[in-house]
């Protein structure tokens, strides 16, 4: 789901960490511990044992753990087999692996393609 440049982790909440408060991260945020608060980031990776209690706003998100809150992913949202979302989802593309769980409403919007017209040389 992420390109090579997006795989670099810019911020990490480790497996034995608990963070309380809102988080704004430019780039990729990986959560393997507990984050209680709203998140705004470019890309989110939530590990299998990670827990987010709050709303998420990102371009793309990969959910392996549990989110108790709404998710707004402008480009793509992927829920892995152990991923759980208890809240509403707003995204352009949604992938749910077998075993993944959503308890909430899903709203998918269409991504408008950008058309670039090329001028022909005479």
pLDDT in tens, 7-22: 689 999 999 999 999 9
Tens digits of per-residue pLDDT, 85-105?
999 999 999 999 999 999 999
- Average pLDDT estimate for 67-76: 97
Rounded alpha-carbon distances, angstroms, from residue 16 to 35, 41, 81:
11, 22, 22
* Residue 30: count of CB within 10 angstroms of its CB: 20
Is residue 114 over pLDDT 90?
A: no
């Amino acid at each position: 789901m992420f390109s090579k440049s997006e795989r670099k982790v810019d911020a990490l909440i480790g497996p034995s960490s608990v963070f309380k408060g809102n988080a704004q991260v430019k780039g990729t945020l990986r959560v393997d511990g507990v984050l209680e608060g709203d998140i705004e980031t470019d890309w989110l990776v939530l590990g299998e044992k990670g827990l987010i209690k709050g709303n998420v706003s990102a371009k793309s998100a990969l959910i392996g753990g549990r989110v108790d809150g709404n998710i707004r992913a402008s480009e793509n949202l992927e829920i892995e087999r152990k991923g759980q979302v208890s809240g509403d989802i707003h995204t352009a593309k949604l992938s749910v692996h077998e075993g993944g769980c959503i308890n909430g409403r899903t709203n998918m919007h269409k991504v408008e393609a950008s058309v670039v017209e090329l001028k022909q040389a005479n």
